[in-house]
Structure 1
Amino acid sequence: MGLGQSNMAAAATKKDFLKVEGEQITLHGKPIILKGTAIGGWMNMENFITGFAGHEHQARAALKEVLGTKKYDFFFDKFLQYFFGEDDAKFFASLGLNCIRIPINYHHFEDDLNPRVFKKEGLKHLDRVIDLCAKHGIYTIIDLHSAPGGQNFDWHSDNPTHKALFYEHKDFQDRTVLIWEHLARHYKDNTWVAGYNPLNEPSDEKHTRLVAFYDRVEKAIRAIDPNHILFLDGNTFAADLRHFGKPLPNSVYTCHDYSIYGFPNPPSLYEGSKEQIDFHKDSFKSKTEYMRKHKGPVWVGEFGPVYQNAEDGFDNWEHINDTRFDVLKLQLGIYSKAQASWSIWLYKDVGFQGMIYAGEDTAYVKLLKDFLRKKKNLAADKWGVDDRSVRHLFQPLEEWLETSAPSFKERYPSSWGVEGHLSRLVRNILLSEELVKEFAGFFKDKTYDELEELAKSFEFAQCTQRTRLNEILKADSKRSGEKSNRAVMSEKGD
């Protein structure tokens, strides 16, 4: 049992939990807006966040083969320890932000070869971080980012295929329900857990199976834990709620709202034109139509630009980043006007998107510097990719596929187009999983002390702040209508 859970369980009453009331999330009947980030790359690892190749389970398997079980277990326990500690919680609270979304991978709780048997150590670090956040007046949202079988077909659900088999096999859904029942039993009395995010960015091609699963998992969770809010992502990577019926009780329906102007190869640099501003307003309006129709709260579960650096080959890289900060400020203004809660992606990484990142002089970044550059040049990772260096290779294949099978243009999700599906299969699966071996090789023959130093590279004291990003987020936390962490803690009586 976590420290926060054990301290709060006896005193917690129904009124101490956050609750959905009409268009607002409330505490003791008063509105509260949740503003924060996500600890992506921690209990659900992603290749662009911490620099490995392929998918998490592949990188872990390769590292276990290189290191052996004892060193492997030691390294990852230290990695989880250093990635988020008390200094991280203090820093986050100092920005005036009040909520952290915690993506988790089901592999922490059960193994595919031993399903339905929950690991004793699975909750160790999750408890620790939830308790640290509670200590500093920060709510947490538990997000199942990777479910058995893959609730979508991308790297961030640790799915090595291009099929979301979660919807094809009832057993995967059964196991996911059991995981949520396990988590609900453990956290049902913890009032600092704002709620549960049952599936991140689900993508059901038929649209109906996801809705049915939400109905099922809601009943299963409520039978154990009637108080916590459910944060329910829309279909097709949290972008489509058109096939949903009446909202489930005490639930917040969520969208993800990434801007094409915050990524490489935008239609043009963002200049704040009326057309560009209207584009963002219309996009948000479309994604939140369901919430407005049913007069419910809005939570933007993910959004945020990626950033360039001096090594990316752009003479104007600093100006490019300025335009992306301007996009961020525009989006925050739109959310503020809508009184929407939000969670920016993400808190910490190796220098691509995070609020803070492992410094250039850390052991981990120095060890992998050339490999990170190679991955970027090959466009091996999906997220925020700049494919200029390989575009000449893929364009003829795209044209060939489109000519050979014109239906490719409608392949789900159709927004990807031929380019998106081809790059997913060839670069982000075939090439990337082969690079896993090279990544693991950098750890060969490392001593326990060296492994700890590598893990410690993610400790707050060794990280660099993305200062302007944090200043923008801090300024937004002071907008009218926001409850301070201190006020929340006072009302909760902790």
Structure 2
Amino acid sequence: MRHLPRLLTILLVVCLAPSASPARAQGFVHADHQQIVDAQGNPLILRGLNLGGWMVQEGYMMGLSNLKAQHVIRGRIAQIIDERKTEIFYQSWRDNAVTRADIDAMAKWGFNSVRLPMHWNLFIKDTPGKAAKGGIVWNEEGFRRVDALIAWLKANDMVLILDLHAAPGGQGHDIAISDRNPRKPSLWDSPEDQRKMIALWSEIARRYKDEPTIAGYDLLNEPNWGFQDKTDKGGCRETGNEPLRDLYERTIHAIRAIDTNHMLIIEGNCWGNNYAGLLPVADRNTTLSFHKYWTPTTQESIEPFLRLREQYDMPLWNGESGENNNGWYARAVALQEKNGIGWAWWPLKKIGAGNPLEIEAGAGYRRLSAYLRGEGEKPPAKAAFAALMQLAADSRFDRNVHHRDVVDALLGTLHRDKTMPLQAQ
């Protein structure tokens, strides 16, 4: 997500290459030329929400924009309450922030899909020495939570998009998105981290290759990296993107050696805006994802992506959009659906308004977050731990503030002759 404006001018690629035959995906959501279709081959508009903040906490979602990345937030918390209690808080957060009740509500509202932003360290244990010897130790927590989510979605006839939001090493200079530690090698500087990423997708493919509730694998969220010019922090001026293309090709090859069922999703550099050098993709069961924040809701604003769809005969999907007001939401959804494009809004919930659900921060957490922002006194460890556990409990669906006006802005036209009044958040 979210911290720099998106470029409206896309660097269009001029190279051409032959395309392979479509991967066989009967019984699964898949790409069919310029459309995403369901298991029966009918056109499918994905209408979904992102579970942002569940597995990857971005600072602004916790009222801690100054700290940016999750590992920084966690480290500062551990300095106050110790590492053991910090882990207790994070386990409680993951136990509460997304439950069956959230998914049931989304289905009742009218959404048909969920995008899950994943953190690699919930799936791979960071064990010094193991990786260097070629071994990877799987962290079953991440897979256990995916399994539970699949069961909740299956019960509601919804589908899941798995999104590698925080890749090993981190995929961008925008460190909050991928929880990158600038003191360590990035994904692009570490062959070992790239190997871990490919191994993770291979393991996901092995475990879920026959699971039709999963609609697709979003291989790498919002890369933002200048490969040719190191001053191009977001990769928006990149004209080649060779390292990104190479990583995509190796990842796709590894997945397809195991799983020929699931749709693959790729995002461009520059937060999903720069596709120069990345297209075409040989695998025909592949969709192009763009993200749309803070740009006009005009036909011209998405024309570059529509041209890519037509030129390369592949579907479009908007994997992230949001953080605006209801009027913008309604216009953005109408624009995309008019052009046959599905979407996943960001996020379902966070601290602060503008989402279907809002987590209310109690007085204790407000005091703690003020200290972490440098605006207040340090709370005692006991009080800080109690405040964090209260926040985790308050992240549950039944304790959230429900903003039905946001849901109506996104889905209202599906259920009534005219939408309810749109309220700015």
| Aligned-residue offset at 1:143 | 0.5
| Aligned-residue offset at 1:161 | 2.8
Structure 1 residue aligned with 2:36, among 11, 19, 25? 25
- Equivalenced residues, count: 370
| TM-score for the superposition, normalised by structure 1 | 0.69
User: 1:421: which partner in 2?
Assistant: none
Tell me which amino acid in the other structure corresponds to 2:167. A
CA deviations on 1:301-331 (whole Å, 9 max, x unpaired) are 111233xxxxxxxxxxxxxxxxx32222221
Q: Output the CA distance in 2 between the equivalents of 1:111 and 1:437.
A: 33
User: 2:250: which partner in 1?
Assistant: 216
Secondary structure at 1:25 match in 2:
strand
Structure 2 residue aligned with 1:62, among 60, 65, 76? 76
Secondary structure at 1:200 match in 2:
coil
Structure 2 residue aligned with 1:465, among 402, 410, 416? 402
Q: Output the CA distance in 2 between the equivalents of 1:109 and 1:441.
A: 34
User: 2:238: which partner in 1?
Assistant: none
With over 3 angstroms needed to count, the CA separation of the structure-2 counterparts of 1:337 and 1:162, relative to structure 1, is: farther
**1:138 is the counterpart of 2:158:** yes
| Aligned-residue offset at 1:68 | 3.5
Q: Which has the larger radius of gyration?
A: 1
With over 3 angstroms needed to count, the CA separation of the structure-2 counterparts of 1:476 and 1:300, relative to structure 1, is: farther
Tell me which amino acid in the other structure corresponds to 1:341. G
User: 2:147: which partner in 1?
Assistant: 127
Alignment of 1:117-196 (within 5 A): 117-154=137-174, 155-161=176-182, 165-196=186-217
| Aligned-residue offset at 1:257 | 1.1
| Aligned-residue offset at 1:167 | 1.7
CA deviations on 1:1-41 (whole Å, 9 max, x unpaired) are xxxxxxxxxxxx95321111111111212111111110000
Tell me which amino acid in the other structure corresponds to 2:411. K
| Aligned-residue offset at 1:438 | 8.3
CA contact (8 A) 1:164 1:204 kept: no
**1:234 is the counterpart of 2:234:** no
Structure 2 residue aligned with 1:454, among 377, 391, 396? 391
Tell me which amino acid in the other structure corresponds to 1:109. F
Structure 1 residue aligned with 2:59, among 47, 69, 74? 47
Secondary structure at 1:131 match in 2:
helix
CA deviations on 1:340-367 (whole Å, 9 max, x unpaired) are 01011110101143221113xxxx4322
- Segments of structure 1 that go 5 or more residues without pairing to the other structure are 1-12, 261-275, 307-323, 376-434, 481-494
- Segments of structure 2 that go 5 or more residues without pairing to the other structure are 1-23, 228-240, 418-425
Secondary structure at 1:242 match in 2:
coil
Q: Output the CA distance in 2 between the equivalents of 1:335 and 1:185.
A: 34
**1:109 is the counterpart of 2:109:** no
Greater helix share, structure number: 1
Alignment of 1:275-314 (within 5 A): 280-306=298-324
User: 2:9: which partner in 1?
Assistant: none
CA contact (8 A) 2:180 2:186 kept: no
Tell me which amino acid in the other structure corresponds to 1:38. N
With over 3 angstroms needed to count, the CA separation of the structure-2 counterparts of 1:447 and 1:303, relative to structure 1, is: closer
User: 2:219: which partner in 1?
Assistant: 198
Secondary structure at 2:199 match in 1:
helix
| Aligned-residue offset at 1:173 | 0.9
CA deviations on 1:258-285 (whole Å, 9 max, x unpaired) are 124xxxxxxxxxxxxxxx66xx321211
Tell me which amino acid in the other structure corresponds to 2:141. E
**1:100 is the counterpart of 2:114:** yes
| Aligned-residue offset at 1:236 | 1.2
Q: Output the CA distance in 2 between the equivalents of 1:333 and 1:221.
A: 34
Q: Output the CA distance in 2 between the equivalents of 1:177 and 1:99.
A: 25
Secondary structure at 1:118 match in 2:
coil
With over 3 angstroms needed to count, the CA separation of the structure-2 counterparts of 1:239 and 1:479, relative to structure 1, is: farther
Where has structure 1 moved over 6 Å in runs of 4 or more?
436-440, 447-450
CA contact (8 A) 2:365 2:387 kept: no
Segment of structure 1 superposing worse, 447-456 or 289-298: 447-456
CA deviations on 1:353-382 (whole Å, 9 max, x unpaired) are 3221113xxxx432233565x69xxxxxxx
Q: Output the CA distance in 2 between the equivalents of 1:303 and 1:159.
A: 22
**RMSD, matched Cα:** 2.8
